[in-house]
Structure 1
Amino acid sequence: MPLTYIDIFAGAGGLTEGFRSNGYEAIAHVEMMPGACLTLKTRECYYYLKRHNRLGEYNKYLKHEISREELYSLVPQSLLDSVLNVTMSKESMQDLFALIDSLKESKNIDEVDVLVGGPPCQAYSLVGRARSKNNMENDPRNYLYMLYKEVLKKYHPRIFVFENVPGLLTAKGGAYLKDMKSQFRDAGYKLECNILNSKEYGVLQNRRRVILIGWQTESGFSYPQLRKVKEEYLVKDLLSDLPPIAPGESSNHYDSPPTEYLKKSGIRKKEDVLTWHEARPHIERDREIYKHVISTWNNSKQRLRYSDLPEELCTHKNRSSFLDRFKVVASDLPTAQTMVAHISKDGHYYIHPDIKQARSLSVREAARIQSFPDNFYFEGGRTSAYLQIGNAVPPLMAEAIASSLKHELMEKKKNER
């Protein structure tokens, strides 16, 4: 029997991708965004068709040869039903539990091995608090961890993984984290909290995240030792096989064979179909700014501040803060800057390093920086895809977490027999 898990606040499934790729069986994915729910359903189709050696049918969908409805008709309805489009709240929890209970019964699953998920992080992020008039003191998202606790109490998973931004450590002077730990202990768990950086797990991105892991008090588990990756690659190893495109353009053909990094990481496989290599359009003034930013980095390895731009290009009144609002994703560095959800609003912080293209990252390029494989398809349109990517846990980091937990869980179950 495979290890089982429930994924709440699932988003596009960055965390769940790490667990699925390690052979865990998903009981339920709980997510409030309709676009992300469709992404999760499409990913369920990928894993089912892959398991049955029918990836050609999945690729037909990526090539627009069959519709989404036709793709979904190729898999058991129970897989699609495991994706629950639910907004978690005090009022919705009992109905949600009824749905999950029904899924457990239909899959003949008695116990939950792992609960994973990270509530929306805007209320804890430093940038979010800086932009809020009252430091997000009254934001209801501050207390979504109480709903996480309710799921712990209901299903008693052996282990849980709670992901969030480093700002959680200092939000309200650390009071949220202190109460969170207290609530999770009250639910019957020992726990430990560490900051992990995705760049240590094969992701070419400097992304620090709080990973809080808890285990049943009497289980004998401990915080796992994650296997770190030491290979040295550069951001250009992520991007060089993709064809040049202008703002507003797209392409569905690779420009060259995959790099060693793309093959080793599993981001691009031999049978993959290129999707979402689509760039947003830009006004000419922004493209001129992009060229200045790219040129300054390429010529002097300096990050151009907004206040250093030619006066005719400076239209923002704010000249004292957020001066790095335009930033190139440098191809000659080992990591890109942290990918965040703001990329769904504009791409100024994620400028492609090729001055001839003078554009922000395409959806696929952003997904690769997050370590999503090329066979991962995002539903819901371009803006929704960028939002899903920016909010996600990098799958390669999630894979390291899932792999280390799998070892502990399998050893524990072996000893229980």
Structure 2
Amino acid sequence: MSGQAKIKTLSLFSGAGGLDIGFSQAGYEVVGCVEIEPAYCQTLQANSGKGKLLRHAEVNCVDIKEFDPAPYVGVGIECVIGGPPCQTFSAAGRRSGGVLGTIDARGRLFESYCRILKAIRPKVFVFENVYGLPGANGGQPWREICKAFSSLGYSLRAEVVDSADYGVAQHRERLIIVGYLAGVPDFEFPEPTHGPDSSTGLPLVSVYDAISDLQDDAEPYHEFDGLYGHLLSLVPEGLNYSFFTREMGYPKPFFAWRSKFHDFLYKVDQCAPARTIKAQPGKFTGPFHWKNRHFSVQELKRLQSFPDDYEIVGKYGKAVEQIGNSVPPRLAYVIAQSVREQLLRGRTDLTFPVRPAGFESTFRKRQRERTNHYKDVAKAEVAKRFSNVVSIETALVNRSEEYFVRYRGNFTKHFSSSMEEGDLGDVSYAVKERREGANVHIDVGLASVRAKSVKEISIDISGLSKYLIDVDTLECKARISTLDDLFRVWSIIEAVLIKGSQFYTLIDIYGHYANRGDTVRVITSIKARSKSALMRAIEYFGQSSSAGIFMTQEDVAQELKMDQSEVPDLVAELRSLRWDVRTPKTHPTIRQKAILCTYPFPLLSGKAQLERKVDLS
């Protein structure tokens, strides 16, 4: 690179600087960064200036739609890099509310990208995004984005790559688009630098390879706290919560199959690359260290291939977010070097050879092989831990009991064998529970108030035997005063189902709404002389066949025999009763005029903050 002018580069959607690091390491001069998030801009500022990696970078903390590229026009910028936020095309977006693609404002940020390309006219641009972009919404957003770039005179090369194949200690699939103007030589993607698809003979970089010098051999194994914390120490390396499912052979399951996302209780295999690091993990979301703890920021930087001396500004959660949202700098370096040598500073002896004719990546095939491998690991571990147990069976008996449940609010309850006087504000229910083999019958009635009008509710659940050892069906008959009581009826049902099992919540049994099949089925009916729209909605969404699917507001209005203009207010009422009904107002990734009710029952955990997302403006 000596004797050659630096390649002036403008970075868009810079984040914490993952792309910028890789391009700077490859000899590019990042002269400007554009990023909207102040916390990320602080990280970019901390790493720019004299003696820093981003020495010449001017940090523009501004919305890309308001960014004026004029100061960067005519100053010799040859390359533009960056990729807009990916939530509208991502798998996580699909699971939380659906893929909006270019319908959502965030999905149209490529237009700002094109506006800046048109003004600056760099020879080359590098655009990265989630691997699911080409297939999102039938490919329509992908075609629109490609057409927009092509209309500016750029030829395009695009590939989905796995970062692990390029020396990163983490499997992370990203879509990379390289665009170049006419007159610039054609571009070919470099072949993998590591793993079975490479010609180097270098193995994939494992977690331990990346962080071994940061480890203390004397560090004890940790005990993790919280509802599921004690299970972490039982998870074999490379596995997650699914280790505790019947499908993996666990004799007495803690979870239904696909009841959680794959990162839940995920513990890395230290001898292999980690799964993708998430930007906003929950308490029980991995990757976890093999000694049963979260990774440190320094360790996560290594797994994402950040330089040790690159400063991530912010407390732990914000640092993890920035790392998890970044492009791995090592992958960025390989792409940057290939762009440099093929398109901008031509040379024949390439640092990274291009993919040979007929090259076909095997990372998806290897992904399936890893899945099968860890299934074998799980089965072997179960066989070792339960060597004398083929399956656990409970003798099915006929029995009955009566008890009372007193509630203070929704989340504090007390069971007793006799009616107890409670404080003002307490509500008590009389419960008769009868078991006939694998069938459970529950009768719930109000014990603490004398209602003027009583509503009768029936809830029928079937298909439980796949996960619960001694229960297949549950039939609940409840008499309630108001629909507020329905939440507590479901809370009683949950308590009955998890009693005697190793499950912790109803959702653990039912399965996550985005992943479940139709194993557990729910039917809800309300007996009343006349039914309000709210009652009809609870009946409708209280069917498992109506939950977990997207519907138009028009369809919902038709099903519930109401005017479409009344639907938003109905949604607010349902959410006030803790039914997780989602619309574009509550979840921005929901498609316009769509509705999703995630479960056929209310959210029973006090940690589920439905009110926080409601926006009726």
For the criterion TM > 0.5, the same-fold answer is yes
For 1:114 and 1:328, the matched residues in 2 are separated by 39
Where does 1:201-216 land on structure 2 (aligned, <5 Å)? 201-216=166-181
Give the structure 2 partner of residue 163 of structure 1: 128
Tell me how far 1:138 sits from its aligned partner.
Answer: 4.1
Count of paired positions? 330
For 2:283 and 2:42, the matched residues in 1 are separated by 23
Where does 1:8-407 land on structure 2 (aligned, <5 Å)? 8-45=12-49, 48-49=50-51, 79=56, 82-89=58-65, 92-93=66-67, 96-98=68-70, 100-101=71-72, 110-132=75-97, 138-225=103-190, 228-229=193-194, 230-232=201-203, 233-244=205-216, 283-293=225-235, 297-298=236-237, 303-305=240-242, 308=245, 320-322=259-261, 325-333=264-272, 335-343=273-281, 345-346=282-283, 348-354=285-291, 358-407=292-341
Question: Does the CA contact (< 8 Å) of 1:347 and 1:360 recur in 2?
Answer: no
Structure 1 residues 324, 243: CA separation in 2 closer, same or farther (over 3 Å shift)? closer
Structure 1 residues 236, 323: CA separation in 2 closer, same or farther (over 3 Å shift)? closer
Give the structure 2 partner of residue 262 of structure 1: none
For 2:98 and 2:189, the matched residues in 1 are separated by 39
- SS for the counterpart of 1:170 is helix
- SS for the counterpart of 2:47 is helix
Question: Does the CA contact (< 8 Å) of 1:347 and 1:361 recur in 2?
Answer: no
Question: Does the CA contact (< 8 Å) of 2:263 and 2:285 recur in 1?
Answer: no
Tell me how far 1:307 sits from its aligned partner.
Answer: 5.2
Structure 1 residues 182, 288: CA separation in 2 closer, same or farther (over 3 Å shift)? same
Tell me how far 1:405 sits from its aligned partner.
Answer: 1.3
* AA aligned opposite 2:97: S
The structure whose residues are more often strand, as a share, is 2
For 1:30 and 1:288, the matched residues in 2 are separated by 43
For 2:138 and 2:186, the matched residues in 1 are separated by 30
For 1:323 and 1:227, the matched residues in 2 are separated by 26
* AA aligned opposite 1:88: I
For 1:159 and 1:180, the matched residues in 2 are separated by 16
* AA aligned opposite 1:161: V
Structure 1 residues 324, 311: CA separation in 2 closer, same or farther (over 3 Å shift)? farther
Q: Which runs of 5+ in 2 are unaligned?
A: 195-200, 348-617
Give the structure 2 partner of residue 275 of structure 1: none
Structure 1 residues 313, 87: CA separation in 2 closer, same or farther (over 3 Å shift)? farther
Question: Does the CA contact (< 8 Å) of 1:4 and 1:24 recur in 2?
Answer: yes
Structure 1 residues 23, 347: CA separation in 2 closer, same or farther (over 3 Å shift)? farther
The structure whose residues are more often helix, as a share, is 1
* AA aligned opposite 1:181: C
Tell me how far 1:282 sits from its aligned partner.
Answer: 6.0
Give the structure 1 partner of residue 7 of structure 2: 3
Question: Does the CA contact (< 8 Å) of 2:245 and 2:257 recur in 1?
Answer: no
- SS for the counterpart of 2:287 is coil
C-alpha RMSD of matched pairs (Å): 3.2
Question: Does the CA contact (< 8 Å) of 1:307 and 1:323 recur in 2?
Answer: no
Q: Which runs of 5+ in 1 are unaligned?
A: 52-74, 245-254, 257-280
TM-score by length of 2: 0.49
For 1:284 and 1:134, the matched residues in 2 are separated by 33
- SS for the counterpart of 2:295 is coil
Give the structure 1 partner of residue 511 of structure 2: none
State the identity as a percent: 31
- SS for the counterpart of 2:313 is coil
Question: Does the CA contact (< 8 Å) of 2:160 and 2:174 recur in 1?
Answer: yes
Provide, for residues 181-225 of structure 1, a one-character-per-residue CA deviation record: whole Å limited to 9, x for no partner. 100001110101111111121111111111011100232332343
For 1:146 and 1:185, the matched residues in 2 are separated by 13
For 2:99 and 2:308, the matched residues in 1 are separated by 41
Bigger RCO of structures 1 and 2 (CA < 8 A, at least 6 apart): 1
For 1:307 and 1:362, the matched residues in 2 are separated by 27
Question: Does the CA contact (< 8 Å) of 1:5 and 1:113 recur in 2?
Answer: yes
Tell me how far 1:134 sits from its aligned partner.
Answer: 6.8
Structure 1 residues 175, 410: CA separation in 2 closer, same or farther (over 3 Å shift)? closer
Tell me how far 1:322 sits from its aligned partner.
Answer: 2.5
